[in-house]
Amino acid sequence: MSDTHATDELIVRRQGVAGTLSLNRPKAIHALTIAMDHAMTEALLGWRDDPAVQVVILDHSEGRGFCAGGDVTALRRSALTDGGESGRRFFFEEYQLNHMMGVYPKPIVAFMDGITMGGGVGIALPCQFRVATENTRLAMPETGIGLFPDVGGGWHLSRLAGRLGQYLALTAARLDGADCLWAGLATHYLAAETLAEAKARLIAGEAPEAVLDSLSTPAPEPKIAALVPTINHLFGPDRLEDILALLAADGGEWATATLETLRKKSPQACKVALRQLAEAARLPDFAANMVMEYRIGARVLVLPDFAEGVRAVLVDKDNAPIWNPATPEGVSDALIDSIFAPLPAGEEWHPL
């Protein structure tokens, strides 16, 4: 992994009263590299105390998505070649960016106009204003690559209504823009054709809330709403085996399809995610959540499921990962405990 700060993978501009961060890695649906994270952090630090900057715009340069996630093939390379050292640094700094965005003293407006997954969710959800459109497809797909819903996923998902967060974390289900608005993941719903006007008015100095309120359009019916009572019941337990048993006992079409989806995910990752959300719900603040997620990340990065999951989904693309442990019963409480255990002093995560 490169430590370069300057990068053409992020377009940084000052326009009117706005600072604009445009993700620019279109061939990878703007999946975040460490260079992009660095460049965002540097720009935000520079604008924080610059009185000429009143608002930050976060969007993508072109193409079909806002941000597909993180550069997980580089993380896999780290696990296979340097014992996870550079991968841990990536997590450390990415989580510092996620945290800084959440405590930033100026409004940040994230435009989630398209695929918004994993690391893309991590940079969008801390923003004060989060715009969904008819193109938004939001998901936390990490259990499919042996990872876990990090970048603050524990905090955000555990604070959704009922058991929606557990459902999203385990199944990697995609929400559309209307679903995101209904769930509170988005603050506004705009037609994509109005985004250029929204940005122009932000740049001209109009208050973000006034701009977004006035350009909002009624969202379609959120399809997720009708499923939530079922989700609350079937994803109610904190034990993976209990969720699988409820889905199997239900026997209906939706439960059967959902069970099939869950059986393809890493059992270890699913158990980590359930424990992560249970613990996150009790934590006092986002920083404490990131301390927990960094501990998890440092461990699962070098456990076999992550390299295998990235191999199967993104490297060889056979979509046939061989998980180890292979079954939920094979993932012991002792293994999960070891993943959540504190790191040695001096290695724990801290905010910037």
Query: Annotated catalytic sites, by residue?
Result: 70, 119, 142, 150
CB 268 within 8 A of CB 335: yes
Shortest distance (Å) from residue 309 CB to ligand QUE:
7
CB 186 within 8 A of CB 132: yes
CB 219 within 8 A of CB 149: no
Amino acid at 258: T
For ligand QUE, which is the closer residue by CB, 122 or 222? 122
Shortest distance (Å) from residue 75 CB to ligand QUE:
9
For ligand QUE, which is the closer residue by CB, 9 or 19? 9
Q: Which residues contact 349 (CB under 8 A, 6 or more apart)?
A: 92, 95, 96, 290, 291, 293, 294, 295
Inter-axis angle of helices 253-263 and 164-171, nearest 10: 50
Question: What percentage of the chain's residues is helix, strand, coil (to nearest 5)?
Answer: 50, 10, 35
Shortest distance (Å) from residue 101 CB to ligand QUE:
18
Instruction: Using DSSP, state whether 29 is helix, strand or coil.
Output: coil
Amino acid at 270: C
Instruction: Using DSSP, state whether 142 is helix, strand or coil.
Output: helix
For ligand QUE, which is the closer residue by CB, 29 or 43? 29
For 205, other C-beta atoms within 10 Å of its C-beta total: 12
Shortest distance (Å) from residue 269 CB to ligand QUE:
10
CB 276 within 8 A of CB 292: yes
Phi and psi angles of residue 220, each rounded to the nearest 5 degrees, phi first: -65, 175
Amino acid at 182: W
CB 254 within 8 A of CB 212: no
Instruction: Using DSSP, state whether 295 is helix, strand or coil.
Output: helix
For ligand QUE, which is the closer residue by CB, 282 or 317? 317
Residue with the shortest CB distance to ligand QUE: 69
For ligand QUE, which is the closer residue by CB, 172 or 212? 172
Shortest distance (Å) from residue 74 CB to ligand QUE:
10
Joined tokens for residue 31: 């999946």
For ligand QUE, which is the closer residue by CB, 84 or 118? 118
Instruction: Using DSSP, state whether 165 is helix, strand or coil.
Output: helix
Joined tokens for residue 202: 């932000």
Report the interface residues with ligand QUE, using CB under 6 A: 28-29, 31, 68-70, 72, 118-119, 141-142, 144-145, 147, 313-314
Shortest distance (Å) from residue 137 CB to ligand QUE:
12
Closest CA to 41 of 85, 79, 3, 81: 3
Shortest distance (Å) from residue 141 CB to ligand QUE:
4
For ligand QUE, which is the closer residue by CB, 120 or 222? 120
